[in-house]
Amino acid sequence: MTTLIQMGMFKRVSLFDYQAMCKTNSHSVSSARPLLSVSSIIESLICIFETRIQSLLHQTSSVPFSLQSFYALASTFKWFLSNFLLFLLEFNFCSFWHTEPFADAYVPKKKWNPLQPCDTEYPSFIHEPSVKETNSIIKCGRCQKMFVVQQIPESNLLMLVVQGDCDCSRQYPPITLEPKEVKYNASVKCDRMRSQKIRRRPESCHAYHPQENANDCGGASFIRLSGLLLLLCLSCALLVL
């Protein structure tokens, strides 16, 4: 088919489907951040406590030890003691039995993939009527194959005869007719939304046309019971009894 397109026997055109349905992109998953262990929490508390002690020592080295420095040291110790108590309250003994440092992310697989409206493009091929017959030789590496194409008279059919003992699938990939989703940028998408407006209703109601014979419609209220049929049914019932 690639050779026929190159020779001009077929012309490739692109067709668009503006009412197609495409699959939505699936959400990606990843593992969570590393879980905090007990040793890391204690280490961080000790580092913060050492930092505050060093800052207090630096402040009290230039001035004599006073009641204000004692209050500062006492507030630091109080802060450390309160955080340590909170740590003991929030301590979880179950963490000793779980040694995995990462939490695996998992999303249940859906039985069906949701679809959304989209525009798709797919290729099509048109035969050039000017080319009635052609033949050529296709070289495929170590071998070559010959083909002949001829139009059948008084029809739109083509007869193709090709030599099948040479494989050319590596040199010429197959041409598929699978549709591809068309991605629009912001400006083109906005123009399409403006052009595809909702159809307006007619200004007047056309409920009658002169060529339509409306007298033939209806008339069910004039239906009456046939007296002959009623007498026939009654006579049949008397004979049966």
Domain-terminating residue out of 165, 181, 197: 181
Same structural domain, 21 and 42: no
In a domain, 106, yes or no: no
| pLDDT tens for each residue of 192-223 | 666 666 667 777 877 777 777 666 666 666 67
Same structural domain, 174 and 63: no
* Domain span including residue 63: 38-96
Structurally, how many domains does the chain consist of? 2
In a domain, 225, yes or no: no
Q: Is the pTM of this model over 0.85?
A: no
| pLDDT tens for each residue of 138-162 | 888 778 888 888 888 888 888 888 8
Confidence of residue 30 (pLDDT cuts 50, 70, 90): low
Q: How far apart are CA 31 and CA 98, in angstroms?
A: 16
CB contact burial 180-208 (16+ within 10 A = b; e otherwise): eebeeeeeeeeeeeeeeeeeeeeeeeeee
Domain-terminating residue out of 136, 166, 181: 181
In a domain, 222, yes or no: no
DSSP states of the chain as a string?
A: -HHHHHHTSEEEEEEEEEEEEEEPPPPP--PPPPPPPHHHHHHHHHHHHHHHHHHHHHHHHHS---HHHHHHHHHHHHHHHHHHHHHHHS--GGGGT----S-----PPPSS--EEEEEEEEEEEEE-TT--EEEEEEEETTEEEEEEEEEPTTSS-EEEEE--SS--TTTS-------EEPPP-HHHHHHHHHHSPPPPPPSS-----TTS-GGGS--GGG----HHHHHHHHHHHHHH-
Same structural domain, 46 and 163: no
